[in-house]
Amino acid sequence: MEMRNVGASGLKVSTLGIGCNNFGVRLDAGQSAAVVHAALDHGVTLFDTADVYPMGEGGTSEDFLGKALGNRRGDAIVATKFGMKMDPEGTRRGGSRRYIIKAVEDSLRRLGTDWIDLLQFHEPDADTPIDETLRALDDLIRAGKVRYIGSSNFAGWQVVEAHYLARELGLNRFVVTQELYSLLSRDIEREVIPACQKYGMGLLPFFPLASGILSGKYELGKGAPEGTRLATSQSLADMFLSESNLVEAGKLADVAAGCGKGLIDLAFAWLLRDAVVPSVIAGASTPEQVARNAEAVAWQMSADDIAKVTDALS
């Protein structure tokens, strides 16, 4: 498993990361542990979760991940997030100092650990100045409870603003931002990725398979197969299960086949073609899926392979 630095920081992670938002929804504690152990055995170090996972029942994912890691905690890079609404009233959310300190203490307790390797601000908070958020996060790093910090769902200008404020105030800065990015979702190439490249930040893609569209499970003219994520989540189906996406996925599957690879290989390897991406975060339901994803990130695309993808999408 290849290891890459996260942006210009000293944090190294595996090129495959495990998304843990399935823990507590589609996977129980035992199934979650099986995925975690298989990942560690394949050289995966990055495990990405959030206090709000599973959505609407926050906390379970962190709890399952912490228990699964057990005495192998030192082998893992645990990334979690804070800031999204944790209660119906919306009192447990945001980027205020008051909330951040409590949210991190709660995450540490659920994870059963003394430190968080990477703490990410899950979404911007219009009610709180970003400098207040950065000061609180800097204090947590200085206290040894957090090692590195990052953002998520930030616009390009917000990435730049946070970078400049941290530099001006002498604070620890965001080393990474986590954004929606795949062969079928490329909006961040206009502003966010150039900002990351300019200011030495990494980019962690989420939904790298477009919630399964790039896995090859879905076919044009057919509904979502029973048991798949898009068959059980209408919101994700509305976002990804479109005719245009299925047409594009078909073209990309042909490109992958021409390279002697599968569509999953192409989806992961294309994201990792750019050094700004240190790792691709993907969920897995079984140890077999972990093994398949680990195989996919091992492909290093040639310039000719990348050109074929560009032609297919033009």
Structure tokens at 8: 């210009």
d(CA 274, CA 309): 14
Cβ(215)–Cβ(242) under 8 Å?
Answer: no
Pairing relation of β-strands 77-82 and 46-48?
Answer: parallel
**What positions carry a catalytic annotation?**
53
- Residue 78's beta-bridge partner residues? 47
Q: What is the DSSP letter of 123?
A: S
Q: Which residue has the tokens 């909330």?
A: 99
Amino acid present at 219: E
Measured at the alpha carbon of residue 115, what is the angle toward residues 113 and 41, in degrees to the nearest 5? 65
**Whether the Cβ atoms of residue 239 and residue 211 lie closer than 8 Å to each other:** yes
- Are the CB atoms for 58 and 51 separated by under 8 Å? yes
Are 271 and 277 in contact, with CB atoms under 8 Å apart?
yes
Q: Is 303 exposed, middle or buried (0-12, 13-18, 19+ CB in 10 A)?
A: exposed
Residue 54 identity (one-letter amino acid): P
Outline where DSSP puts E strands in 215-305. Answer: 280-283
Give residues with Cβ within 8 angstroms of 306, minimum separation 6. 270, 273
Strand extents, DSSP E, the chain? 3-5, 12-14, 16-19, 46-48, 77-82, 116-121, 146-152, 174-180, 202-206, 280-283
